[in-house]
Amino acid sequence: MNFLRYERIVEFYPAMWPLLVPGYVPILNAMQEIVGSLGHRPKEILDLGCGPGSATIAVAPACDPAGNITLVDGAVGMLRAAQALLGNNVKQVISGDFTTPTTAAQTFLPNCYDLALCSFALHHQQDTEKRQIIDALGTSIRKGGVLLLADEVATERPAGWQLIEQVRGRIIQGHLDSGRIPAAFLELETSLPSDQHLPFLPTRVDDLTSFMARAGFAVTCPILVFGSALLVGVKSS
């Protein structure tokens, strides 16, 4: 995978994603509520496709203050931003594409995480790869540990793709008209060479649920907000 798109937008990312993805903030808030309701504070934490550390910082108040975080991302600038945000709790930084054998072997050690976050990091993968990654997460999360999987999904579009895209388009247009989305960010996104574009591959939420169940997780009903979903899995076997 090519990470130029993400390398270019590191400084804009934390302010722009809440404006571009209507489900993003509700889902990160839900993550914190869920981790805060576990009855224990996770200590060994994986953030897969961490970006600037947004999901980890969202759940941090509910985690062990002495927690050890493993960060994985293919964009070096994102890893630097996450490290700067999360400081001394970062135990390991893995730079690379987590679909490749080398990075996967470093990341998915058996039974080592209490909590894994995979937040808006799988929607460039085909379903086969998504399933492999979820299987690998299943092997590396301890029994009783939790996977929070958030991503773009295909099934919250009952009247078809256009309905959700119209809603999302209207929200984004409002942010553009008001200037909340700055021209500099728009220019970066629209000037990306076409051969560097990443595919947008939302999966059916029932398929994601099934992938998690087959990887050994007891899975909740998803939380869905305008085309984005949060699934919660507890490692049960």
Ligand X SMILES: C[S@@+](CC[C@H](N)C(=O)[O-])C[C@H]1O[C@@H](n2cnc3c(N)ncnc32)[C@H](O)[C@@H]1O
23 binds ligand X (CB under 6 A): no
Determine contact, residues 5/196, Cβ cutoff 8 Å: yes
CB of 24 to ligand X, least distance (A): 7
CB of 33 to ligand X, least distance (A): 16
CB of 39 to ligand X, least distance (A): 25
1 binds ligand X (CB under 6 A): yes
Please report, as residue ranges, which positions from 81 to 120 form the binding site for ligand X (by CB under 6 A).
97-99, 119-120
The Cβ of residue 102 has, within 10 Å, a number of other Cβ atoms equal to 11
Binding track, positions 33-52, relative to ligand X; x by CB under 6 A: ----------------xxx-
- Show the tokens assigned to 234: 């507890």
Determine contact, residues 58/34, Cβ cutoff 8 Å: no
| Chain centroid to CA 30 | 13
54 binds ligand X (CB under 6 A): yes
DSSP 8-state assignment for residue 194: G
Among 60, 62, 78, 86, binds ligand X (CB under 6 A): 78
Separation between Cα atoms, residue 196 and residue 214, nearest integer Å: 33
CB of 97 to ligand X, least distance (A): 4
By CB under 6 A, the count of residues binding ligand X is 20
CB of 7 to ligand X, least distance (A): 8
Determine contact, residues 114/45, Cβ cutoff 8 Å: yes
Among 23, 42, 74, 216, binds ligand X (CB under 6 A): 74
Among 45, 55, 60, 232, binds ligand X (CB under 6 A): 55
Separation between Cα atoms, residue 181 and residue 129, nearest integer Å: 32
Question: By CB neighbour count within 10 A (0-12 exposed, 13-18 middle, 19+ buried), where does 132 fall?
Answer: middle
127 binds ligand X (CB under 6 A): no
Q: At CA 1, angle to CA 70 and CA 51, rounded to 5?
A: 35
Residue among 101 and 159 whose Cβ is closer to ligand X: 101
Residues that bind ligand X (CB under 6 A): 1, 3, 6, 17, 49-51, 54-55, 73-75, 78, 97-99, 119-121, 124
